[in-house]
Structure 1
Amino acid sequence: QAGLSWITVLKKRENFRDAFDHFDYHKIATYDEKKIESLLQNSGIIRNKLKILSAISNAKYFIEIQNEFGSFRKYIWGFVNENSIKNNFKTSSEYPVKTPLSETISKDLISRGFKFVGATIIYAFMQASGMVNDHLESCFRYLEV
């Protein structure tokens, strides 16, 4: 959720999962006005119409990328040549919020029609998906990722 604190989103995670059909992008891509209206009335989620509409259109573009590349994974990991970027941070103050690569990916997604996929959100995705290893060198997981 662009522009919101992670804690706000995490507190509503299960409500989002239920409201958005367990994040089934095939279903989300087919949402109609009736479903949109029900989402806008759902007090358990963040009811921003632009973000709801972008989730629907992004699901459609996600499917287009799958059709073009064979999978979203092939598309997204192509930006790192199928290899995780391993950073060598000593302290968490060294963590960037975005990088030139996350800016490149963001621009590519936006050129394909995606919304709310800025460089900061893309960098968070890169961390979560393992495209970039930002574990501190002192972390037990650093060598495992």
Structure 2
Amino acid sequence: SAITNAQQFIKIQESYGSFDSFIWSYVDGKPILNQFQTETDIPARTALSDQISKDLKKLGFKFVGSTIIYAYMQAIGIVNDHVKGCHLYANK
């Protein structure tokens, strides 16, 4: 699956100019700022991660379930899930 995903990644780069452009197009280039009060309020997946996962699978990617995609979205900053009381909440 690593080889398959790398091949699909290259295809997306060729089509969109970069994987970054592709993935950020789902949010029009603007991060989602959630307003959770506690860590337990943060979901493991969302409708958007479901959609991105579905689209990547259609493109031939493997092991890109919604939970994995949501964690990726958090890691790259597409979604800000810092709780409102966190000192990083306003800085993102």
TM-score, length of structure 1 as denominator length: 0.63
Mark the structure with the bigger radius of gyration: 1
Residue ranges of structure 1 left out of the alignment (5+ in a row):
1-53
Q: How far apart in 2 are the matches of 1:64 and 1:102?
A: 21
Q: Name the count of aligned residue pairs.
A: 92
Q: How does 1:120-135 map to 2 (within 5 A)?
A: 120-135=67-82
Residue 60 of structure 1 aligns to which amino acid in structure 2? Answer: Q
Question: Deviation at 1:58?
Answer: 0.1
Q: Is 2:44 the partner of 1:94?
A: no
Aligned partner of 2:85 in structure 1 is 138
Q: How far apart in 2 are the matches of 1:67 and 1:142?
A: 35
Question: Deviation at 1:132?
Answer: 0.1
Residue 100 of structure 1 aligns to which amino acid in structure 2? Answer: A
Please identify runs of 4+ aligned residues in structure 1 that moved more than 3 A.
Answer: none
Q: Is 2:57 the partner of 1:110?
A: yes
Residue 141 of structure 1 aligns to which amino acid in structure 2? Answer: L
Specify which structure has the bigger relative contact order, considering alpha-carbon pairs within 8 angstroms and separated by 6 or more residues: 2
SS of the equivalent of 1:110 reads helix
Q: How far apart in 2 are the matches of 1:143 and 1:65?
A: 33
Deviations 1:34-93 (A, max 9, x none): xxxxxxxxxxxxxxxxxxxx0111001000000000000000000000000000000011
